[in-house]
Structure 1
């Protein structure tokens, strides 16, 4: 298993962890077994990308011949996609198995959020219809809710300052709305977790580049882009 987070030993606020999704379904095409997706990165919208790992091109299973999967957001088509590799482990010309238009963020929707629609052009109906709790297991870092209108208003109220940041970062407008935050790099690595939001947050150790700041409140999750210079 490929752990995608790193430890910052000089910060007590950091920790080692990983995020995973477990899938078991569509048995006419896939073997009746659990397939584990690991978070392998973050796209430009702040959404996480999950893949069954390691990708080696020879995970034999069922009718497709190779069960190596990816869950990711397709921003051009405004949907989450469940794709299967065509057999060589590089996800070039993959099979599009299922889609879900629920714009959950940062993780894919669960079986109860939106609908995971079967692509019958590829499956020829072999998955017995759309993915549901009666024919599929999809657990782990999936989401049951999306941002509401209130969340969008809150996103406008809460700001990162300065942004771009050089040495320190402050969260403006967070009080009584946000309880803690996590910062990820573009590869999905967790570089900081903290609930100390009243003062300045030290980001001087971060390499220059783009980051995603996940802000967590009692009933909401917001994502902000941060540029470190």
Structure 2
């Protein structure tokens, strides 16, 4: 069965070209030309992932992403203007799984989509336990569910992959380069803040109202590790 992608972009010519390319790559692609219609389609349950442009009529891409994230954890890849780092960071902070700067190579976009949709980590040789349980956190790879102090936490696909990769390391430090390959399915680019933003989002979601938080430590100049998991 083909994976179903939703393209939300008001550039009809670009959508037609990209849709044809995606079809040739084995995807089923549907294009929507404005943000409000894109939100409705994304929440319909008919799609496996959304490719969402920032600059949209009636509802811009960031506002559309906010609406989608209120109701769904469907993977979302943002299309941003090249060099506009603020939009990229804001999009990631709001729950986007990845971004691709415009103009883009369709091959790169397809690679990013496949990486986000990949449910198995890039490094598949390590056995995946049925469950990780560390200091009040329970992560179940098979169902992709996370419980923090008994309450289910909604993570995006990329956030889940980042957290699982850190738990798999068992308290060892995971470099940013390795974490990007394992969790995001791509090499980390210079000055790429994607991982930092995903980690920040995870930390916010794994913090109780009493201030207690699940510990993800930053090892300056190297990467991240789970505190007390060894």
Q: TM-score range by the shorter chain?
A: under 0.3
More helix by share: 2
More strand by share: 1
Bigger Rg, structure 1 or 2:
1
Tell me: higher relative CO, structure 1 or 2? Use CA pairs within 8 A at least 6 residues apart: 1
Q: TM-score, structure 2 length as denominator? A: 0.24
